[in-house]
Amino acid sequence: MGKKISDNIGKAFNIESMAAARNRAFAFQAQKEGRKDLARLFRAIADAKSAQARRFLGHMKGKIGSTKENLSEALENEKRALEDIYPGMAKEAEGAPWAVKKAFNQTMKVSSRHLDLFRRVTETGDSEVEATLYVCRICGYISENEVPDNCPVCHAVKGRFAEVA
């Protein structure tokens, strides 16, 4: 496969991944406004975009390995985000609105939590995560076995957590 085709596969993956995330946000807003049918449509489109992204990801050579390799890559990605990517972005956001600075700082805290979860699994050699996992739908913090009254990162209320099936 040529470089241009490989580049286009990567671009398509990024486009579809971003569209999936954007449509999930649109669904959340529509739900908040009581537009349940439109929220459902946005969620369906988001799911479709995720399927398309996964399809392109499958064509990206070397991107999906064994679960052990994927865990190692995920751990390194979180580490890189926490140490190399987001600190610089947070620093460059000094003149940005407060909410933008807050998003970068909270993302670093959440990435630290994700890194801890991946490290625990890889260091202990556990093949399973037996805890019930709950994700804060505001900042992405993951809680194990119980939903906190308030998110330790963004302070969202208990109702903003979703159990991961």
Q: Mean pLDDT in the chain?
A: 91
β-sheet bridge partners, residue 144: 133
Q: Is the pLDDT of residue 62 over 70?
A: no
Q: Which tens digit of pLDDT belongs to each residue from 119-154?
A: 988 887 766 678 899 999 999 999 999 999 999 999
Q: Is the pLDDT of residue 63 over 80?
A: no
Compute the distance between CA of residue 31 and CA of residue 99 in angstroms, rounded to an integer: 22
Q: Do the domains 131-165 and 1-63 match in fold?
A: no
The most confident of 1-10, 24-33, 68-77, by mean pLDDT:
24-33
The single-letter code of the amino acid at 17 is: S
10: buried, middle or exposed (CB in 10 Å: 19+, 13-18, 0-12)? Answer: middle
Taking the domain 131-165, which CATH number applies?
Answer: 2.20.28.10
Please list, in sequence order, all residues whose beta carbon lies within 8 angstroms of the beta carbon of residue 120, skipping any fewer than 6 positions away. 126
Q: Region 100-124: what's the mean pLDDT? A: 91
Q: Region 108-128: what's the mean pLDDT? A: 85
Q: Is the pLDDT of residue 38 over 90?
A: yes
Compute the distance between CA of residue 161 and CA of residue 163 in angstroms, rounded to an integer: 7
30-39, 48-57, 109-118, 121-130: the lowest-pLDDT one: 121-130
The whole-number pLDDT of residue 34 equals: 96
41-45, 66-70, 135-139: the lowest-pLDDT one: 66-70
Q: Region 157-165: what's the mean pLDDT? A: 94
The whole-number pLDDT of residue 156 equals: 96
Fold of 1-63: Ferritin (1.20.1260)
87-112 in b/e burial notation, b at 16+ Cβ within 10 A? eebbeebeeeeeeebebbebbbbbbb
Domain boundaries, the chain: 1-63, 65-130, 131-165
